[in-house]
Amino acid sequence: MKGIAILGSTGSIGCQTLEVIRSFPQHFSVVGLGGWRNLALLRKQVEEFHPALVSCQETERGSAPPGLGNATTVTLEEMVSHPQVDLVVMAVAGPAGLLPTLQALRSRKLVALASKEALVMGGQLIAQEMEAGATILPVDSEASAIWQCLRGEGQEVARLIITASGGPFRKRPISELASVTPEEALNHPTWRMGKKITVDSATLMNKGFEVIEAHWLFQTPWDRIQVALHPQSIVHSLVEFQDGTLKAQLAAPDMRLPIQYALFYPKRMPSQWGNGFDITRIGQLSFESLNRERYPCFDLALEAAQAGGTYPAALCAADEVAVGLFLERKLGFTEIPTLVQKVVDEHRSGSATSLEQIMDADAWARRRALEMAGA
């Protein structure tokens, strides 16, 4: 039995991880569950999975709310380094995932990583841990696809090709984007996900994050990572090799598949979610190039990543604030990139060789984004 800790257990990835675990009760023991605000759901999860450790907003502040069973309340950092934990599922939304991710890697736990912001902000620190022997099991569907395509291959990779659905506004006239509502942005055509990432998928900030994620996870230079629009979300990404061969990974757009692959790696197990996927019913798979004018957030992400230092941390923080304000109807959809750009332009980057430097940049950018938006 693998001892599992799930950070972000009440979020979309956390809940889907528990669905996978529920279907393999003999393989996993849930040692720790970390939620944040959704105490009602966390209580239900504790009742069903009986974790030894639990963490939420209240416990981080030092109080222990009732209804969490016999579980010991701990911080996320304590949870990920606990001796009974073998594998940590990192599904905390936003920059809060960085510190526990580093802690888990330093404790040499397997880390099934869904929180891509951790890699965007702290790519260099995380890459150092990987170089020193820590293991990340990608959960993001695109990163998982590349990981699966690279399996058994050598170093002869020419390019990584990351696919993007293009989100709900792929065909909307650019002049109409200023007036789109949160409801429209949250109505993703192919994936069911949490709110922050769904908006990031509509702006394609998320795709920028995924290029950065691939750069660090697979040690691939920026000019060897390409993005192609693929509206059906069936081909989850591709790898091109030096002889001109391309390998693609195809599956139903269901996050439980990459989650299960990461949990059981290197084994493949039968699955309730992917079996019976009928390729003849897809009809057509199409690919097109990205219209950069439509998706300014994509370029903002890549520019920040290539500038390096603490620019990516400032970008992530500003994006989180901007998306939050958009969801509260305090910022227009096309003002998301405008606000992020203003914050990043004003940011004076330091080196990003310590967690403190990154978190300082995060706090600065968060404060500045709120001030600039007048919120």
**Interface residues toward Mg ion, by CB under 5 A:** 140-142
Query: Rounded distance, CA 360 to CA 270, Å?
Result: 45
Q: Which is nearer to Mg ion, 140 or 254 (CB)?
A: 140
Shortest-Cβ-distance residue relative to Mg ion: 140
For residue 156, the minimal CB distance to Mg ion (Å) is 26
For residue 143, the minimal CB distance to Mg ion (Å) is 7
For residue 69, the minimal CB distance to Mg ion (Å) is 33
Angle 297-113-225 (CA atoms, 0-180°, nearest 5)?
Answer: 45
Burial grade of 325 (CB within 10 A; 0-12, 13-18, 19 or more): buried
Q: What is the DSSP string of 53-85?
A: EEE-HHHHTT---S-STTPEE--HHHHHT-TT-
Q: Which is nearer to Mg ion, 20 or 339 (CB)?
A: 20
For residue 94, the minimal CB distance to Mg ion (Å) is 15
Residues 36/43, Cβ–Cβ less than 8 Å: no
Query: Rounded distance, CA 111 to CA 136, Å?
Result: 5
Query: Rounded distance, CA 212 to CA 225, Å?
Result: 9
Q: Which is nearer to Mg ion, 250 or 370 (CB)?
A: 250
Query: Rounded distance, CA 128 to CA 124, Å?
Result: 6
Q: Which is nearer to Mg ion, 251 or 373 (CB)?
A: 251
CA 6, 11, 17, 18 dihedral sign is positive
For residue 190, the minimal CB distance to Mg ion (Å) is 11
For residue 258, the minimal CB distance to Mg ion (Å) is 9
Q: Which is nearer to Mg ion, 200 or 240 (CB)?
A: 200
Q: Which is nearer to Mg ion, 145 or 359 (CB)?
A: 145
